[in-house]
Amino acid sequence: MQVRGFKFLILLLFFSPHFLFSFNFSSKIFSNLHNDRYWHTLLHFKNGESEIDDEKFFLSPNGKQDAKAELKETIKALLRDKNEIICRFPARINWIMKKLPELKSEVGEYSCKEIDKLIDDFDPKQISLIFPTAHINSPASMYGHTLLRIDADKDTPLLSQAINYAAKTEEDNGILFAFYGLSGGYEGRYTILPYYDKVKEYSDMEARDIWEYELNLNQDEIKLLLYHQFELKDIYADYLFMTENCSYNLLWLLESARANTYLVDEFRFKAVPIDTIRTLKSAGFIKNITYRASKSKKIKAITLKIEDKNRAKKFLQDGYNFNLLKDFNDTQKAHILDLSTHMLQYKRSKNKIDKKLYIKNLMMLLNTRSKLPSFDTDKIKEPINPLNGHKSNRVTLSIDEDKRVFLAYKPVFHDIYDVDSGFTEGAYINFFDLVLKKDKHSDIKLEKFDFVNIASYAKRDFLFKPLSWEVEAGWQRNHEDKLEFKLKGGVGYTYGKEGFLYYFFLNPAFYYASDAVFGIAPKVGFIKNFLNFKVGLNLKTEFLTTGDKITEFEAFTTYNLYKNLAINLKYDITKFKERDKKLGTISLFYYF
């Protein structure tokens, strides 16, 4: 007891504002504790500083850059008022007490009623990583999103709570979102909210499938994760769309749950949600996988079984006139009533119907449906797991009929030429797409650099009427081999069935090389997706303010040799200034 008391006296003097002992003498006890990997995890330390940008998170004025100073200030705060600091930083104090048993014995019993109540209320039995796939009509969500679900009862996941990290933004403009998201113009925060609300948001309102990856965290690890989450409430970090985003920041929480797990180190320049899930799989976190189809996918599955779609639509629009159903057999009646129920719930999720009227109509539909035989009208075939899609980096080596060689690299994510297996069909988003060219008569030169290239081909049907759009900004070589800046947009309609789409677009454009040139181009095309390959064609005619006209036709096919290796064939016909040019290109895609 005397030895332990002496060590504590040294500790107290060292960490008091007016300690008398020298640093060298006292540091023998603590050595390199501030360099411990887990301490850096709790501080979100990477590359010499914390990724947390909120000053409230640090006790030391230099805590963002100095892990040792932050450790000293944390222990000093503990010695001053253990109750306050334990409730503020439960994960920190839990770790310090384990590392410094002498300190623990002198401080005595400690707990925080607020945190104990929080954990008791959650009653956590397991943690699942939730992956809502791409939202095809939102630039903020076209990579998908991840959050953590805290399950108290495995059989009632909708009653669970969810931990979410997100930037607060309502920006729908693709270019502005890209600018603010890439430059850290948004604040990212952790929040806890009912999982049911997120399902309504993602599955019902935004038509996004949800994949649920159950994690194999034990009870002690879950408790540590909740401790650290509690430390981060009301704390922000600059949100960076490519790196410090929703999925990346959840990795910090999972590292805090399982010590000596290296998750964030793999992500330096970008962190795409599906790549973070692959990292968790490689690290042995994932136990089970569950698929939850979106509300719109269920609705579309039912509509395929309805024979008279016009009368079904009239039934929906005429306030449920049951006389319209009298000529249908029981199976068709069941399909139409199930469709009506789903559509009513969808309208309520969008606040397009009053609550009282919603309940009245819902009870009426369910009562009528209960009198019919049971049919599984909205069973959905499970799509390919996103983990089985190609990786997000792509290097391309191409050669065309003129023996020109192209080398291209894009760090993210998925474009119109990539096979869609494991991805949301019609959702294409790319940043920093670089193409270099070498021909026999010149040195290597820049062929194209797209800062951003986003396309949303959202299918329309007799119930849903989304608008398709695309935006593109960067530099390219024009048909006269001059490097020019380009800014393109486009709106249009997309139709089709699963695995197949065709589209009609009108694309305005701005170009600048030595002079400003504007253009407008009607465009049509189609894409057909199979399991391991896709085919497509595209035809457009662009009318320029110079008086010139450019007609371009492109046909392509891509075949996956392996999951992360594909071959692409393209054939282009271009008509410009009375010149016709026909050119074939073969490319090898490597994803990593």
- Provide φ and ψ at 550, rounded to 5°: -120, 120
Distance CA 66, CA 342 (A): 55
Q: Are 49 and 64 in contact (CB under 8 A)?
A: yes
User: Distances in Å between the alpha carbon of 410 and those of 449, 450, 589?
Assistant: 10, 9, 11
Amino acid letter, 254: L
Three-state secondary-structure class, residue 553: strand
Of the chain, the percentage scoring pLDDT greater than 90 comes to 67
CB contact set of 444 (below 8 Å; sequence gap of 6+): 436, 437, 438
Q: Are 175 and 473 in contact (CB under 8 A)?
A: yes
Q: What is the pLDDT of residues 3-29, one digit of tens each?
A: 444 444 445 444 444 333 333 334 445
Total-model pTM? 0.87
Distance in angstroms (rounded) separating the CA atoms of residues 157 and 522: 47
Convert the pLDDT of each residue in 332-364 to its tens digit.
999 999 999 999 988 888 888 999 999 999 999
**What does 355-395 look like in DSSP terms, one character per residue?**
HHHHHHHHHHHHHHHHTSPP--TT-------GGGSPPS-EE
Q: Tell me, what amino acid is at 257?
A: A
| Mean pLDDT of the region 124-129 | 95
Rama region for 144: left / alpha / beta (φ>0; ψ in -120 to 50; rest): left
Nearest to residue 63, comparing CAs of 47, 84, 48, 78? 48
As a whole number of angstroms, the distance between CA 64 and CA 70 comes to: 8
Average pLDDT over residues 149-175: 81
Specify whether the CB–CB gap between 435 and 417 falls below 8 A: no
Q: Are 77 and 59 in contact (CB under 8 A)?
A: yes
State what percent of residues in the chain have pLDDT above 70.
91
- What pLDDT, in 10s, does the model give residues 407-448? 999 998 999 999 999 999 999 989 899 999 999 888 999 999
Cα distances (Å, whole numbers) of residue 219 to 127, 151, 226, 503:
10, 12, 11, 51
Radius of gyration of the chain (CA): 29
* Tokens describing residue 135: 């939202």
Owner of token pair 């806890």: 192
Rounded CA-CA distance 53/235 in Å is 8
Lowest mean pLDDT across 103-112, 238-247, 437-446? 103-112
